[in-house]
Structure 1
Amino acid sequence: MSTVVDELGARLKTYEGRAAAVAGKGKDPVNEPMIRHWCEAMGDTNPAYVGPDAVAPPTMLQAWTMGGLSGYTGRTGRTGRTGAYDELFDLLDEAGCTSVVATDCEQEYLRPLRPADEVTFDAVIESVSDRKTTKLGTGYFVTTRMDVRVGPYLVGTHRFRILKYAPAHKKGNGKERREGKREGVRARRPRPVVNRDNAGFWEGVQRHQLLIQRCTDCGTLRHPWLPGCNACGGPDWDTIEASGEGTVYSYVVMHHPPFPAFDPPYAVGLIELAEGVRIVSNVVGVPYDKVRIGLLVRLEFQRYDDEDGPLVLPVFRAQEDREGGAG
């Protein structure tokens, strides 16, 4: 088995450096309506994205290269993807790596895009990892790099990484897993991804503080945490502590959780804090079917313990529950 896997890995490595797309062309020029839709969806009111001197939000870089629901016609040339990319995926499919999940992307911005710019792009299969085993299954990480241009000028680079894998077989059927839970076997709760941009937020949570970033240039509050202000672009910031008061702005009820550590059904709310920013978290203290838009909630912190150690998370308890009026 190991010999077969090594041979597959060696074959996959031969695709590194080969073109994944050649002379692709965006289906539409950079345009104001798409910029407007993007900003409305993101809630981004930066004045740089409107008016006669508008630029496109940098994070839209990939949007101008996408084929949409109809896709691109043809296989090569000005229409995009090459045969090498398809061959690589065919090899993985034949080896049983039939599932795929996007893992991360990286973007570099070299020049602002403006309405009427027409983008072209080339992509390369930058790397294929050694065989990796994850909780999802065993497979290979494939990284592609797309270079985006306007005319002869490179305006940005987009790296996209996926895991193409053979799904892991879970031990025991659903009944056995439920019985294990009843016998006191505590499933591991997934941990939040902590990076240099949000580490301060999670450090505050450990101290039972919900910290909100505040731009020191224009005073705008923001959440989730970002490396710069989305209102004025300023890089400097400090924090304020949230009062903990809020209302349910929107919510969903989860019936089929992806992790056994969760106990469905439960409500996940988009909470609008008294300070004006919004945060996603669980709504507790009332049955899931009693959660409503406009419900008053109050911040509290819950601690979870399992094999990975203690975990503290912010949740929001219905105010009516504290006052005896709901639940």
Structure 2
Amino acid sequence: MAVQEDEPTARLKAYEGRPAAVTGVGKDPVNLPMIRHWCEAMGDTNPAYAGPGAVAPPTMLQAWTMAGLSGQRGRTSPYTELLGLLDELGCTSIVATDCEQEYLRPLRPGDEVTFDAVIESVSDRKTTRLGTGYFVTTRMNVRAGGEPAGTHRFRVLKYAPARERPDEPRPRRPRPVVNRDNAGFWQGVAEHRLLIQRCTDCGTLRHPWLPGCNACGGPDWDTVEASGEGTVYSYVVVHHPPFPAFDPPYAVGLVQLAEGVRMVSDVVGVPHDKVRIGLPVRLEFRSCDEELTLPVFRVVER
């Protein structure tokens, strides 16, 4: 028996297939300075991204289309209307959930990037630990010099925040996304071991886990266990939004491990306003509930 959609869901699904952006134009052509900044931030030393004949890292696909603080020409009224309708339905909060990218050709310095986007899907009403709302997926087709360069799917949850009652148990922390590329990392964490991938062709260590080496492109790898020593390379203090299961403000650090790779995790052991770049930290494993263990870094007293 077919299940009829409720009236709000039917109104939302009417936006599927309508444009979210038309003939958008990247604010800058693909250029070496932005590629360099990206690679420095990611710790990516692949020589393909520097010097004569350089190409842009494929994962920068979305970066060339981003609007920045001043906004982007090309956004259409259907997308704005959809977000407004969700606000009217009480779904006033939003969180990005995931993205998928497909690469069709490398982007090179000097390429002018253009794009179109469509509202690909609006889910049925879903209840999550954050609240009740709808997943909205947009698909962006990116071109360079008029040629297809890639596809970027971006999914958000627009939701009405859940209200906690005093008698309700504390919500659990969100589960990490475990897939075939990072399952070994999370298995190590469950065993209280922090495993770093190592390319068996060139010996380069890498984190986060990837299906291939970002230095030589080799597909084969093994692992080394991190010593747990590190320093705070950079950090942010999260004040808002106050998601269930989190108690802002708290510090999230980009930690430089002694082995040379960096990873993002909570910095604990001192108040959030005492965290500083360069602080020594040591790995520990925190049990969040009966199913979830996470690596965190405790500041080492000097």
**Aligned letter for 1:63?**
A
Taking only the aligned residue pairs, the percentage that are identical comes to 81
The alpha-carbon distance between structure 1 residues 289 and 66, as it changes in their structure 2 partners (threshold 3 A), is: closer
After TM superposition, give the deviation of residue 47 of structure 1 in Å.
1.0
1:131 is matched with: 125
Tell me how far apart the structure 2 counterparts of residues 143 and 194 of structure 1 sit (CA, whole Å): 21
Q: Bigger CA drift: 49-58 or 237-246?
A: 237-246
After TM superposition, give the deviation of residue 171 of structure 1 in Å.
2.1
Q: Bigger CA drift: 229-238 or 198-207?
A: 229-238
Q: Deviations over 1:190-241 (max 9, x none)?
A: 4333222211011112222221100112111112212222222222211011
TM-score normalized by the length of structure 1: 0.79
**Aligned letter for 2:175?**
R
2:108 is matched with: 114
Pairing 1:204–2:185 present: no
Q: Deviations over 1:41-90 (max 9, x none)?
A: 22222111111201111111112122222223xxxxxx412222222223
2:69 is matched with: 69
Tell me how far apart the structure 2 counterparts of residues 154 and 245 of structure 1 sit (CA, whole Å): 45
| Ranges in structure 2 where 5+ consecutive residues have no aligned partner | none
After TM superposition, give the deviation of residue 147 of structure 1 in Å.
0.6
After TM superposition, give the deviation of residue 145 of structure 1 in Å.
0.6
Aligned length: 299
Tell me how far apart the structure 1 counterparts of residues 19 and 248 of structure 2 sit (CA, whole Å): 45
> Does the CA contact (< 8 Å) of 1:137 and 1:166 recur in 2?
yes
Bigger radius of gyration, 1 or 2? 1
Tell me how far apart the structure 2 counterparts of residues 318 and 90 of structure 1 sit (CA, whole Å): 44
The alpha-carbon distance between structure 1 residues 124 and 252, as it changes in their structure 2 partners (threshold 3 A), is: closer
Pairing 1:224–2:231 present: no
2:217 is matched with: 233
The alpha-carbon distance between structure 1 residues 282 and 61, as it changes in their structure 2 partners (threshold 3 A), is: closer
Tell me how far apart the structure 2 counterparts of residues 271 and 211 of structure 1 sit (CA, whole Å): 15
> Does the CA contact (< 8 Å) of 1:189 and 1:259 recur in 2?
no
TM alignment of 1:240-255, pairs within 5 A = 240-251=224-235
SS across alignment from 2:62: helix
RMSD: 3.0
| Ranges in structure 1 where 5+ consecutive residues have no aligned partner | 73-78, 321-325
TM-score normalized by the length of structure 2: 0.85
TM alignment of 1:1-327, pairs within 5 A = 6-72=6-72, 79-172=73-166, 188-251=172-235, 258=242, 268-283=252-267, 293-305=277-289, 309-317=290-298, 320=301
> Does the CA contact (< 8 Å) of 2:242 and 2:248 recur in 1?
no
SS across alignment from 1:22: strand
Tell me how far apart the structure 2 counterparts of residues 14 and 267 of structure 1 sit (CA, whole Å): 41
Tell me how far apart the structure 2 counterparts of residues 40 and 21 of structure 1 sit (CA, whole Å): 31
